[in-house]
Structure 1
Amino acid sequence: MLAQQYDARDNKLHLNQVPIPEPREHELLVKIKNASLCHSDVMLFEPNDQGLVLGKNPVTIGHEATGTVVGRGSGEAANKFRDGDNVGFLCAVECCFDCLNCRTVHNSWCVTGKTKMQGFTLDGYFQEYAVVDARAAMVLPEGLDVNTAAPLFCAGVTAFHGIQDCELDPGQWVTIIGCGGLGHLGIQYAKAMGLKVIGLDIADQALEEAKNCGADHVFNSSKDKDWKDKVLEITGGGVDAAVNFTASKKSYDDCPAIIKPGQGLLMVVGIPRDPLQLNALDIALGRFRVKGSNNGTCYNMRPAIEFSAKHNIQPHQTLYQLEELPKMIDLMKSHKAQGRMGIVFEGGKSHL
């Protein structure tokens, strides 16, 4: 089969022929239908000190996909599925899925210490077939199309919990920082939860996407020098939560100025290349709170996906061919992408 593989020796992608994998006892063999690009994939090409680790080399990238079951292992978890099921899944594998950390924190912190991430330490989903852990998979609910739903199984779960975990009431204000691949979904979730939304970005096309998704106000923080004052005026003193989906350290530095003092929350979702710097006095005196929202486990995946189906949350996705993945990465790096970018596979080959 064809696979887009990252090679650390030249820091480039290569379209390689690789064997189709065989499912182990607890695994499903999935014919990939839709694989989409996440900013975390692009971080492979950049230096970072945020814990992103490469495993095998070369490795098939991509950790966000949907597909159809075409084979199964003999284990109990795999036998809950049937050939022909349309499924989505998360990328954490080799963990126990049962310890307290797996169930309530994240599979990354599994007590076994053996967790690997497909697309980074093991082959991911920019290939025609993949094996996935049946315990981290689910059948798509009615209303979700296997050919377009891939972004929901990272971006969607992440954006949903990034908004829901703010624990806001309908009518409160939330700022979505970064209105692209994650943010355009976050805006849809926020509106479906009855929140008032301000979208912030540095790319005009992303702000257009934000308006299309229902944002009440949008600002280009690189062009409008008064955007902070305008946010404070609109919200009557600051937003109740600022949810940062970007990899920009500067955007995190800007957040405290627009958060409502004493009540507001900074929700950390995006992972900048450099560590965050927060004023300890702000935290100690309660100027604002800081909270994180991870990209999902098999335990919090289902509520996000079912909410998406119920409220018709749709990833806005531009489709490419598998051979065009380097172009997709360049577009993401240059902030020229709008919504999500993905690949659809059909009949063993990707198509537009």
Structure 2
Amino acid sequence: MPVSIRGYAAQSATSPMAPFQFERRDPRADDVVIDILYCGVCHSDLHQARNEWGGTHYPLVPGHEIIGRVAAIGAKVTGFKPGDMVGVGCMVDSCRHCDACAQGLEQYCKEFPTFTYNSTDRHDKQRTYGGYSERIVVSDKFVLRVPSGLDAKSAAPLLCAGITTWSPLRHWKIGKDHKVAVVGLGGLGHMGLKFAKAMGADVTLFTRSPGKEEEARRLGADHVVLSTDPKQMEAVASHFDFILDTVPHPHDLGPYLATLKLNGVHVLVGLVEPIEPTVHSGALIFGRRSMAGSLIGGIAETQEMLDFCAQHGISADVEMIDMQDINEAYARMLKSDVRYRFVIDLASLKNAA
């Protein structure tokens, strides 16, 4: 029988997050039942809760940076056992047969992936609910093993902020001979600095905020450039092989493109809106520069990223909160008042009123 689950949900675009009871499905033969311990708080949770991208279905239970412990497994599951520490990221299913899925790039599934929340289950057509809850049921093909060397709390944001920055760095084969710049120092940006440094690159942070140098260097930056200072920007003209742009709102890309070398690449991972102001094509043509985008990562590369983090002692910088404090956390997140990711302790749901 379906199990009643406690969680937090938005009931409309204007209502605060509040306690919500709902049912999880009966486990299928390939399912893993996970008791959720921690769930990261992503900017996209807030966008979806407020229907800022359109298409939100209410009630909405957000959360796609999930760390938990296996409570039970289906009859056909062989890769996990009760007690295992596991993770669930942004996806819980895909078509599994298109070209993208065959390459382990389920995030680009031609039939569209089934997302962890605000999506429709491909089998029973029920709405998916995310990690702001005490338990989740997920196909074993979309469950990740958390290496023993990772701190479970700070591993949660790796499942979105981490993989979103890891995937493009790996795709463009960033290594010790590359000069890499990261634009923006938030949940994504701080992970980009850590990964690029661990991969051996020479790493620069672009920031609009003076006074971030010490913090940026702690996170892995070798250099810091104030992007509002024309002299500093001119000093790095035609300098970088790769720019990882994590800024989530429209901003002028022109000054950054001018800092790319011949064949340099500027990758957008934070902006899901029209590019404003318009990019002048000359900035691309007269240097064979490229602009690209990247979306989260596939399951195999997410596991690779978790293993890399365990080997190199990398995790997210987090601030722990109780579930009851989620609305305050959203307000603070809008003011960039977090270093660098909120993580919910789901044990606090036992005290939910």
Q: Distance in 2 between matches of 1:21 and 1:350?
A: 24
Cα distance, 1:131–1:208 mapped onto 2, change above 3 Å: farther
TM-score, normalised with respect to structure 1? 0.86
SS at match of 2:329: helix
- Residue in structure 2 matching 1:27, options 17, 23, 31: 31
Is the Cα contact below 8 Å between 1:180 and 1:206 reproduced in 2?
Answer: no
Question: SS of the residue aligned with 1:255?
Answer: helix
Post-superposition CA distance 1:314-333 (Å, at most 9, x none): 21100000111111111111
- Alpha-carbon shift at residue 109 of structure 1 (Å): 4.2
Q: Could you tell me how far apart the structure 2 residues matched to 1:38 and 1:61 are?
A: 9
Task: Figure out how many residues of one structure are paired with residues of the other and give that number.
Answer: 339
Aligned-pair CA distance for 1:115: 3.1
* Shift in Å, 1:107: 2.7
Deviation by residue 1:205-232 (Cα, 9 ceiling, x = unmatched)? 86654222121222454xxx31x53144
Is contact 1:90–1:297 with CA below 8 Å preserved after alignment? no
Offset at 1:270? 1.0
TM-score (norm 2): 0.86
Counterpart code for 1:298:
I
Secondary structure of the 2:239 match is coil
- The within-5 A match list for 1:1-352 is 1-8=5-12, 10-45=14-49, 48=52, 53-54=55-56, 56-74=57-75, 76=76, 78-104=77-103, 106-111=105-110, 113=111, 115-121=113-119, 122-202=128-208, 209-221=215-227, 225-226=228-229, 228-233=230-235, 235=236, 237-260=238-261, 262-275=262-275, 277-346=278-347, 349=350
Residues 94 and 114 of structure 1 are in contact (CA less than 8 Å); yes or no, is this contact kept in structure 2?
no
**Residues 1:178 and 1:57: Cα distance change in structure 2 (over 3 Å):** same
CA shift at 1:295, angstroms?
0.3
Structure 2 unaligned segments of length 5 or more: list them. Answer: 120-127
| Aligned-residue offset at 1:339 | 1.2
Contact 2:205 2:225 in 1 (8 A): yes
Matched residues in 2 for 1:253 and 1:22: separation? 52
Greater shift, 143-152 or 341-350, is seen at: 341-350
Deviations 1:177-227 (A, max 9, x none): 111111111111111111111112345686654222121222454xxx31x
Three-state SS of the structure 2 residue aligned to 1:60 is coil
1:180–1:209 CA contact under 8 A, matched in 2:
no
Which digits, 9 at most, give the CA deviation of each residue in 1:46-86, with x for residues without a partner?
Answer: 5656xx642x4202101111110102222x3x332101010
Q: Per the alignment, in what secondary structure is the counterpart of residue 46 of structure 2?
A: helix
Residue 239 of structure 1 contacts residue 259 of structure 1 at CA under 8 Å; is this kept in 2? yes
Whether the 8 Å contact between 2:132 and 2:346 is mirrored in structure 1 is no
Corresponding residue SS for 1:151 = helix
Q: CA RMSD in A?
A: 2.6
In 2, the alpha carbon distance for the partners of 1:194 and 1:211 equals 15
Q: CA deviation at 1:150?
A: 0.7
- The runs of 5 or more residues in structure 1 that have no matched partner are none
